[in-house]
Amino acid sequence: MNTNIKNRDEIEEQFKWNLGTMYKNADEVKQDLEKIKELLEQFKGYQGRLTDKETILEALQLQDRSDQLMEKSYTYAHMKLDEDIANTQALALFDQVKSLYVVYSEATSFFVPDLMKLDDEFLQSLAGDERFKDYRHFIREIGRNKEHILSDTEEKILSSFGEIAGAPKSIFQTLNNADLKFGQVINENNEPVELTHGRYQRLIQSGSREVRKAAYNELYRVYKSFKNTIAQTYINSVKKDCLYARLRKYNSALESSTFADNVDVSVYHNLIATIRHNISLLHRYIDFRKQVMQLPELHMYDLYVPLVTELNKNYSYQEAVDLVLQGLRKLGDRYVVDLKHGLENGWVDVYENKGKTAGAYSTGAYGYHPYILLNFNGTMNDVFTLAHEAGHAMHTFYSHKNQPYRNASYTIFVAEVASTLNENLLIHHLLAQTNDAKEKLYLLNYNLEQVRTTLFRQTMFAEFEKITHEKAEQGVSLTPEALSEIYYELNKFYYQGVRLDDEISMEWARIPHFYNAFYVYKYTTGFSAAVALANGILQGGPEELAKYLEFLGSGGKDYPLELLKKAGVDMEKPQPVEACLHSFDENLKLAAQLI
């Protein structure tokens, strides 16, 4: 494990993503920003004129052109900043793009309200016109959203607040990635190392209890010292969510979020109820972990260490790539060839460097290949992170390849399916490759940890969001102490059998997804759908694979629940979540037989 974080210019080019396929430099971005301004002036001329099919079609096509340029410039600018969030030139460019995005949103805000003034019969005639085939789902959404769209003036006002509304998220990201400084931790070799977000993920898996305890305590010491600032940031994010929902005539912020996917709030509530009803499975796993680790009591910092430390291997990046490609062979030759090409040709930014944003993600702009950001440290977890983000990237790649721009973007609800399915296939492959009992236990535990951290932990996060937003909507004051108490009580229910230290009450303060309200439950629904689809591919035949590949190429041409139904899984029923819990139960029994 390196003890020094490299500067960006010290990273080899082969391990950096190639943003040059989009723009060679900032000047080219600024040229596109000028083009966007010109297109906006043209687009404004359609206000009040959307009364006949020809004019509407022209406006839609012009909006597509300007949207693509806006998406491209925004994607490039935020990736450039994520390379080094302390880079003032990149920050200035991103601020310029964000500012134009607010102007862009304000200038185009008339479009949907004007279309909503059209009567339903005329809208239906548009959907039936072959010239509008690429816009049918968009037109259907116009009708569905009518009651939640405001007047022209009101929409323009809301759009003008876009940058301010995004302030809580932006402030948290800057604080979390650029300003928070952690101290040093003594590692397994008795060496002092600087604690970073990326290193924490490895240190918390250390075989040395003192190392992981020190990393855990140091991390939360720093977050606790900023609890008032972070709490106010998050509370204002919650208030923003509730305000926008109320202004758009939703019953709650939760309904506002689920409505966007055409998902009833009952899906959210039923998920929490199903997990709570089966929480004894998590408690059994905690008891199993305590037994294997031979500890009188478990602390939260004991939950991430692999149970078979002898198999805590370290992988080079190339070894990780090879493992992922082997594990995904069930998805067919075309998929593997396309992914291999991407991983070897500038899709991925591999290693941590000073100032680089924490975590991992995949992103992209229509007309260009997708990108993957990693902070690769060589752990098994990093191998699965690569498989996960590759799933996102290939979903984007095939959706962009097979859908027109208007239908190419899939919703967040289905975004985690392809990524999690990849992880499921990889774990199945690795288990099939070994007869060694210790290695099987290691891999089974990794799979159990996937379920713990996704199905159980993300549902706990979803409960936290539900409670905080409901309290804000009821007029109950949220304070740093109240947030910590809510979070601590949830941990008491979910992690019965674990000795809860005070530090865990501050974990809410470091979860970036909380600034995308009601996002995290989609990890759980996506995970459950992915398990069902993976089982279908592994146990079925060409038909199951064909349906899944069709799903990958479907983008957002239909509502997410309908896309999943066509792929072979119905998330409006409890069976996918229950089946995933059953799989967890079976793997826990298998693991118990190996000790």
Active site residues: 389
Residue type, 456: F
Looking only at the bridges linking them, the beta strands covering 371-373 and 361-363 are: antiparallel
Q: Within a 10 A sphere around the Cβ of 304, how many other Cβ atoms? A: 18
83 phi/psi in degrees, rounded to 5: -60, -35
**Beta-carbon-side half-sphere exposure of residue 415 (alpha carbons within 13 Å):** 18
Structure-token pair, residue 470: 């409901």
Total Cβ atoms within 10 A of residue 485? 12
Contact 496, 286 (CB under 8 A): yes
Query: Which amino acid is it at 31?
Result: Q
CA distance 576 to 582: 10
φ, ψ of residue 193 to 5 degrees: the values are -130, 145
**43, 66 in Cβ contact below 8 A?**
yes
Rounded to an integer, what distance in angstroms lies between the CA atom of residue 219 and that of residue 15? 28
Strands 371-373 and 348-349: what pairing?
parallel
Residue 582, phi then psi, degrees to nearest 5 = -65, -40
* CA separation for the pair 65, 418 (Å, rounded): 28
Q: How many angstroms separate the CA atoms of 283 and 508, rounded? A: 22
Comparing C-alpha atoms, which of 528, 567, 564, 527 is closest to residue 546?
567
Single-letter code of the amino acid located at 533: L
Structure tokens at 53: 């099919």
**Tokens linked to 6:** 């490299």
Cα torsion 481, 485, 486, 489 to 10°: value is 170
State how far the Cα of 374 lies from the Cα of 249, in Å rounded to an integer. 40
Residue 348 and residue 170 in contact, taking contact as beta carbons nearer than 8 Å: no
Query: What is the Cα Rg of the chain in Å?
Result: 24
Structure tokens at 102: 């607010």
Q: Contact at 8 Å (CB) between 347 and 478? A: no
Which residue is listed with tokens 């041409």? Answer: 557
DSSP lists the bridge partners of residue 158 as none
3-state secondary structure of 173: helix
DSSP codes joined into one string, 236-280: HHHHHHHHHHHHTT-S-HHHHHHHTTT--HHHHHHHHHHHHHTTH
Q: Identify the helix (H) or strand (E) that includes residue 186.
A: strand 184-186
